[in-house]
Every structure is written in C-alpha cells, then in structure tokens.
Amino acid sequence: MTERKLSARSLLDETAIHESGHAVVARALGVSVAQLTIAPEADTLGSVDFTATGADWIARAVESGIVMCAGREAARVLLAQAHNCGDDWDRERLAAIVDRLIAASPKTDKRKFRSRLLATMRSRARTLVREHSATIERVAHALLRQGHLSGAELDALIATQEGGL
Ligand SMILES: [Zn+2]
C-alpha cells in the first residue's frame, strides 16, 4: 500500500501529525481517548480528549504530562520541518501538571526537579513517538480524510497497524 508521505507543507498536515501523536502515545500508555479532531476552534487548531487511568494522581499526572509532550515530539520526529505553533495550550497544561507534582514533592531543589521532570516526560514521549511512528502517520492520514476520529476508530486503526498495542 502506498501512502502519500506527509511533509510539513501545510499547517493542516502538521496539526494532523501533532494530534495523532498525542492520541497514539496516550493509547500506548493505556490512557483512554474519547475523540480527536483537526477542526479548529477559537483557540486551538485541533484537540484530543483523553483521560489518564493511572492508579493514583501522581501516575495520572505523569501520564498526562507525557501525552501533552507527544504532539510536539511527533511533529519533530515525523516532519522534516515543523512550525511549532498551536502548542501554547499544551505547554500551559504541562506547566500546571509539573507544578502540582513539584508542590507534592519533598525534594528541596525544586528547579532541578522541574527540569528533570520535563526532560523525562519529553524523552518518554519521543521514544513512544519513534516506536509508533508508522501508526501516528496512519492515524494522521485518517484524520486528514475524516477531520475527526472517535476513540473506537482510533483503536481500530492502531489494531490494524500494530495488531493491538
Ligand atoms: Zn497539542
């Protein structure tokens, strides 16, 4: 099967890769995804509705942080050149997640802990993006065709590509 290789020609392509990165990495972590879309709204180019399922709030916060990093990492890994825009909301949410984790930590060097936490989340997101890059491309193509995918449609695409995660 030949598929058109995505390039960063259009912002729509990049948005599709970005949102697919969030969604596929979420599923790889066992995070549930209700839907994803590349239909622009007032302050977003697209979005993924996800709910972390970890055993406690710390596990759920770490999962959410990795998912928040995955959009940008997907664009970086899969596109030769990324615009790096439409990313503000992710960064705000990520900062809020990291703030909560730091507030709960007994560690005294909060600044060092913050940068280590961010680096760990980004690197975990990047590794998962690399492992699932073919699936992210497949989901992005489906998003470009349909504009929107339900959680069930996402899981069906993942299962077709990977035989289930
Ligand atoms: Zn995003």
Distance from residue 117's CA to the centre of ligand 1 (Å):
19
Neighbours of 34 (CB within 10 A): 12
- Report if residue 37 sits inside a domain: yes
Residue 147 CA, ligand 1 centroid: distance in Å:
16
The parent domain of residue 39 ranges over 11-162
- Alpha carbon of 68 to ligand 1 centroid (Å): 6
Residue 26 falls inside a structural domain: yes
27 CA distance to ligand 1 middle (Å): 15
How confident is the model at residue 2, as a pLDDT?
A: 43
Please report whether residue 2 resides in a domain.
no
Distance CA 78, CA 129 (A): 9
pLDDT digits 0-9 by tens, 133-162:
999 999 999 999 999 999 999 999 999 999
Question: Could you give the percent of the chain with pLDDT greater than 70?
Answer: 90
Q: Write the CATH number for 150.
A: 1.20.58.760
79 domain-assigned: yes
Q: Is 29 part of a structural domain of the chain?
A: yes
What would the pLDDT profile of 25-45 be if each residue is shown by its tens digit? 999 999 999 999 998 887 778
Please tell me the distance between residue 33's alpha carbon and the centre of ligand 1 in angstroms: 14
* Residue 5, domain member (yes or no): no
Q: How far is the CA of 1 from the centre of ligand 1 (A)?
A: 29
Q: What is the total count of domains within the chain?
A: 1
Residue 7: the pLDDT is 52
CA dist., res. 154 & res. 135, Å (int): 10
Residue 75's nearest CA partner among 150, 126, 117 is: 126
Ligand 1 centre and the CA of 64: distance in Å?
12
| Spatial separation of the C-alpha atoms in residues 74 and 137, rounded to whole Å | 9
Find the 151 Cα to ligand 1 centroid distance in Å: 17
Give Cα separations from 138 to 30, 101, 107, 110, 160 (angstroms): 19, 34, 42, 40, 10
Single-letter residue type at 155: D
Residue 118 lies in a domain: yes
Q: What is the pTM of this model?
A: 0.89
Q: Decide if pLDDT at 117 tops 50.
A: yes
Question: pLDDT at position 84, please?
Answer: 60
Determine, yes or no, domain membership for 104: yes
Residue 47: which of 55, 59, 38, 56 has the closest Cα?
Answer: 38
